[in-house]
Amino acid sequence: MSIHKQMNSTINRLKRKAIKTKDIGIKDALELYEIGRKEPFFLMASGAEIREYFKGKRINLCGIINAKSGICPEDCKFCAQSAHYNTDAPQYPLLGHDMIVEKAKEARDCGTHMFAIVTSGTRISSEKEWDEIYDAVKGIKELGIKPCVSLGMLDRERALKLKEAGLYRYHHNLETARSFFDNICTTHEYKEDIETVKTARKAGLSTCSGGIIGLGETMEQRIELAMTLKELDVDSVPLNILNPRPGTPLMDARPLPPIEILITIALFRFILPDKDIKLCGGKEANLRQLLPLGIVAGCNSLMTGDYLTTPGRNPALDIEMIKDLGLEATLEDR
């Protein structure tokens, strides 16, 4: 059997396994990676087939607001909002719920299906801030889009109150693999992030958790992260690509080649075949002219508009891109 026929046989076998059993293991993922290194577009095409099998032609759009910025006590080496580094990130307290809801309305009118309130810091501790957040969640839900929050560590009581306020989804990234985490953050333990995701899920909230690629981790460690997210059974997996921020320890990090990013997306689609895989921060800067291939490779969701401390792009361009791919910018009801 020729090498090409052997690769074709392997990838078709694993594609069927992903669709039928949703049980791609580490060994399978490493086989797929080797194929991707030789024939990346072959792997991406299979990722597209799996995406369409589970998600159809629907691509959903998510917007965010940096609702509380800067002076974070965590030392995440990629983050411009960390108080440990000298950056030009803005610093301001929690915005009022009226302003948050107004920004959500603007995002909705641009075609966004979900809107997330994101705050810097390890957790929300002020009762006044919690009241503003509950009111903002209620206001976003009344707009007819799905409210999401990313507020750091979470306990059961707050998770249930967020659910009561109308929250749909809680976001909390693991950032990277457990085996690489200490290279990126030393101010809290990986297990705390795991527990926050579990707490949100136990409260009946949809869960969103992923990470950043390009921090210096290996492809094997990206696969490790995907396997952890599979164990947690999260609903949505945001994939960010490092866009180095001046003043942070990773400011001089080597950019990932676009093809390596696309291979990573396809591997995540195989490992997490029925989950929302969301292409997020750094996508324009790193994929450049290959940005549409992020969807082809397996993403069924995009973060659109601006990010936390960096500008994104006009949501109209994302909607145009989705339509040009023959797909639909619409939210899949669960």
Strand, helix or coil for residue 244: coil
Confidence of residue 261 (pLDDT cuts 50, 70, 90): very high
DSSP characters over 14-82: HHHHHHHT----HHHHHHHHHHHHH-HHHHHHHHHHHHHHHHTTEEEEEEEEEEEBS-BS---TT-TTB
Token duo for residue 294: 């992020």
Strand, helix or coil for residue 185: coil
Confidence of residue 332 (pLDDT cuts 50, 70, 90): low
Backbone angles phi, psi at 276, to 5 degrees: -75, 120
Task: Calculate mean pLDDT across residues 80-95.
Answer: 95
pLDDT tens sequence across 267-298: 999 999 999 999 999 999 999 999 999 999 99
pLDDT tens sequence across 206-247: 999 999 999 999 999 999 999 999 999 999 999 999 999 999
Q: Return d(Cα 199, Cα 157) in angstroms, integer.
A: 10
Q: Are 38 and 7 in contact (CB under 8 A)?
A: yes
Specify the pLDDT at position 334.
39
The structure's pTM equals: 0.96
CATH of 3-329, one of 3.90.1150.10, 3.40.50.720, 3.50.40.10, 3.20.20.70: 3.20.20.70
Sequence spans of domains, the chain: 3-329
